[in-house]
Amino acid sequence: MSSTPLTTKGLIDILPFEEEFKTDLKNKWDSLSMDQRNFISQLLWDTYADIYEARYDTNVEVALEQIAEGEETGFSLDKTFGKKIREKTQEELRKQATTAVSTATLSDTRKALESIMNTSDSQVSN
């Protein structure tokens, strides 16, 4: 597993938005006001947290089912179980965009991000 810390800009690459939208957001990032970047950053991290939680829950369920069925999983119900599931979840999210979050949630997040990116600094502060 990679030990590189995840950054807000890194979230743009990980989250399952269209490539054109990701490129547009990254290109505009440095020209956005601090308030706009803070709002966008919070939206991105909230979205990532929702996706992470859904993927983590799925990974726990799958691992428990496999353990119960006696399958070889690399997981055991010991003190390392949670850590191994977290590592697996983080690695999966770094490797691929997940579909665990609903399209509606992503659509709402994208609309909010676009609105912030296209809003003047004085309107964001209000």
Question: Are the beta carbons of 26 and 63 closer than 8 angstroms?
Answer: no
pTM of the model: 0.66
Per-residue model confidence as pLDDT tens digits over 28-39:
999 999 999 999
Q: Report the Cα–Cα distance between both ends of the chain, in Å, rounded.
A: 42
Per-residue model confidence as pLDDT tens digits over 68-113:
888 877 787 889 898 999 999 888 887 765 443 445 456 666 677 7
pLDDT at 59: 92
**CA 15 to chain CA mean position, Å:** 5
pLDDT band at residue 46, thresholds of 50, 70 and 90? very high
CA distance 20 to 18: 5
pLDDT band at residue 66, thresholds of 50, 70 and 90? confident
